Amino acid sequence: MFHYARWKILAILGSVLLSLLIASPNVLPVGAQKFMADNLGLRPLTLGLDLQGGGNVLMAVDKKDMVRKLQDQLTGDIRAGMRDAKIGYSNISKIDSGVTVRIIKPEDFDKAKTELSKLLQPLDAGLFAAGTVSNLFKLTQNTDQFSFTIEPAGLDAKVSSAIQQSLKIFESRFNGSGVTEPILQQQGKDRVSIQLPGKQNLKSVLDTLETTGSLSLTLLCAEQPQSATQAVPPDCKAFPQKEDVDRLIAKKKKDAEDAKTDYVKPTEDELKSLSQMWLKTASRDSVSGADLVDAQPSFDQNNRPVVSFKLNQRGAVKFGKLTAENVDKPFAIVLDNVIMSAPRINEAILGGSAQISGNFTLEETQSLSVVLKSGALPAKLDVIEQQVVGPSLGADSIRAGLIASLVGLIAVMIFMLLPYGLYGVIADIAVLINLLMLVAIMSLFGFTLTLPGIAGIVLTLGMAVDSNVLIYERIREEWRNGRTAMGAIETGFKAAFATVLDANVTTLIAAVVLFGVGSGPIRGFAVTLAVGIATTLFTAFLLTKFMVAMWVKWKRPKEITL
């Protein structure tokens, strides 16, 4: 125990000095912090929403919109399936939670059932499903009418999948838009909580969040509406144009400002009241934004801000074929069910590149580029709650947390100093280095420090000296049992190791469980606790043992004075 190889000494001292360097940005002035961030990549702790203030947004999946999209998709699939199978059908209609279709000839009933069963959309039943099959839709037959209804469990699965995909897309959008350190979490079955520490203005953030980012390049129908009441043809769908939508939004904002009320986005009925254009709905007549690989803000030949985008090989081939077969015909660039522009195809576009224009500002093209590159959201999410936490409240939380930590640290150090004397001093040094290493690790890996995380730090300080107490008491016991001073110290460290390790591992398991099932503040506490356990084991059995060994080699004590 009392002999250390040179490499071990260098490793222990190097770890402490490296921790000091990594943690130093937390106490340096802003200019020094910027220098270390630019040259060494070292940054101070990331503070959570409760410590530095910021914005908090709660969004929920619009289940009604999801059901409508599923019905539209199913209607198209039924029509295509019956046409390919040459089965006569009529009266495809939507019901509350599904779609119905009538089969004309009785001899086609069995064939229709077989074809329609292919549209049930089996779902992943999960690990414990025991071989059961779960579908998104349920198919029933009543003589000549077949009915699809959406299964509640299937809808829940779609919502859950949409939430997980949305979290990934939001993270990508924030990384591309310069909003750093967002905290994205699922809340309940159909909600997403988004915390943006340090972000006080939520307008640009909400624009990024609420834009679904669904892009399509679609041919216009040969027939176009002559009046607002004209019925839409079966193979077409009506969409408003961006200019009209912008005018409606501007009017609603001015009315809200005049009435000193909050602005409310246009409703579906208000959008339907605008002048519409009819676009083809068949997949062969459009190219999906799913084939988009890049989007960048740029300028057109008239120096107006536009978004330039590029399609992958599959999308480029399809778009090239689409434009080659429809020269001199108009097509529409549609984003989130709004026609951005409807240019005429002058020639085949074979390179897979195009531009989206629409009287954008430069800021709008930058935001739209980020949204398009990150991909379209799988479902519409509505903002149901938003709030801004002021920085003054965060400053009060930091002050209270620092006071609590200092009081706890001083109390722990006095507790160790009084009964253990010099050994208590060694333990106190180890506690201070433990705190230093904890801050260094959290700063290095970008863990977010929250108010519960400060509680985890205080708890770590108590657990750190608890390990020293177990070691020192075991040394006392070995000394009383007749061992020499050097033998008691060596045996005390060896014998206490298993006990301290077991205690910390069980606590680590609890921290992992808290992190896995918890959210928000609970996770912040769990992260701090887990990191604290790792640093405690290092300081208790490497650093403390090293300092005691150095003191023993120097003093050669004949008795234990614990």
What digits encode the pLDDT tens for the residues 257-271? Answer: 888 887 788 888 888
If pLDDT is split at 50, 70 and 90, which confidence band does 178 have?
very low
Region 181-187 average pLDDT? 76
341 and 466, same structural domain?
no
Q: What is the CATH number of the domain that holds 24?
A: 1.20.1640.10
pLDDT digits (tens, 9 = 90+) for 493-541: 888 888 888 888 888 898 888 887 776 667 778 888 888 888 888 888 7
414 and 304, same structural domain?
no
Q: Is residue 196 part of a domain?
A: no
pLDDT number for residue 552: 74
The span from the CA of 120 to the CA of 135, in Å, is 6
pLDDT number for residue 57: 86
If pLDDT is split at 50, 70 and 90, which confidence band does 103 have?
very high
pLDDT number for residue 128: 40
**Out of 226-230, 474-478, 558-562, which region has the weakest mean confidence (pLDDT)?**
558-562
244 or 390: whose pLDDT is higher?
A: 244
Q: Which domain holds residue 110?
A: 64-155
Region 146-170 average pLDDT? 86
Angle at 271 between CA 359 and CA 192, to 5 degrees: 90
94 and 69, same structural domain?
yes
Q: Give the DSSP letter of residue 267.
A: P
Angle at 245 between CA 240 and CA 248, to 5 degrees: 130
Judge whether residue 129 has pLDDT over 60: no
In terms of C-beta density within 10 A (0-12 exposed, 13-18 middle, 19 or more buried), how is residue 72 classed?
Answer: middle
Q: What is the CATH number of the domain that holds 289?
A: 3.30.1360.200
129 and 276, same structural domain?
no
The span from the CA of 22 to the CA of 5, in Å, is 26
**Out of 19-33, 49-63, 173-187, 339-353, which region has the weakest mean confidence (pLDDT)?**
173-187
| Number of domains the chain is built from | 3
2 or 455: whose pLDDT is higher?
A: 455
Region 227-246 average pLDDT? 86
Closest by CA to 262, choosing from 180, 343, 218, 206, is: 206
Judge whether residue 229 has pLDDT over 50: yes
**Out of 25-34, 177-186, 216-225, 236-245, which region has the weakest mean confidence (pLDDT)?**
177-186
Which of 155, 182, 202 is the endpoint of a domain? 155
Judge whether residue 102 has pLDDT over 90: yes
Closest by CA to 537, choosing from 499, 484, 510, 486, is: 499
Statement: the pTM of the whole predicted model exceeds 0.75: no
319 and 222, same structural domain?
yes
pLDDT number for residue 519: 64
Mean pLDDT, the chain, integer: 81
371 and 466, same structural domain?
no
Region 440-446 average pLDDT? 86
Judge whether residue 176 has pLDDT over 80: no
Q: Is residue 168 part of a domain?
A: no
CB of 536 closer than 8 Å to CB of 504: yes
Share of the chain above pLDDT 90, in %: 9
Region 188-193 average pLDDT? 86
Judge whether residue 68 has pLDDT over 60: yes
Judge whether residue 3 has pLDDT over 60: yes
539 and 397, same structural domain?
yes
Which of 388, 407, 435 is the endpoint of a domain? 388
The span from the CA of 263 to the CA of 252, in Å, is 7
If pLDDT is split at 50, 70 and 90, which confidence band does 358 have?
low
259 or 203: whose pLDDT is higher?
A: 259
Which of 388, 407, 439 is the endpoint of a domain? 388
434 and 366, same structural domain?
no
pLDDT digits (tens, 9 = 90+) for 288-332: 877 777 788 888 778 888 888 788 888 888 888 888 988 888 888
Which positions ≥6 away from 33 have C-beta within 8 Å?
25, 43, 44
198 or 471: whose pLDDT is higher?
A: 471
Judge whether residue 405 has pLDDT over 80: no
Most confident among 10-19, 172-181, 345-354, 463-472 (mean pLDDT):
10-19
382 and 241, same structural domain?
yes
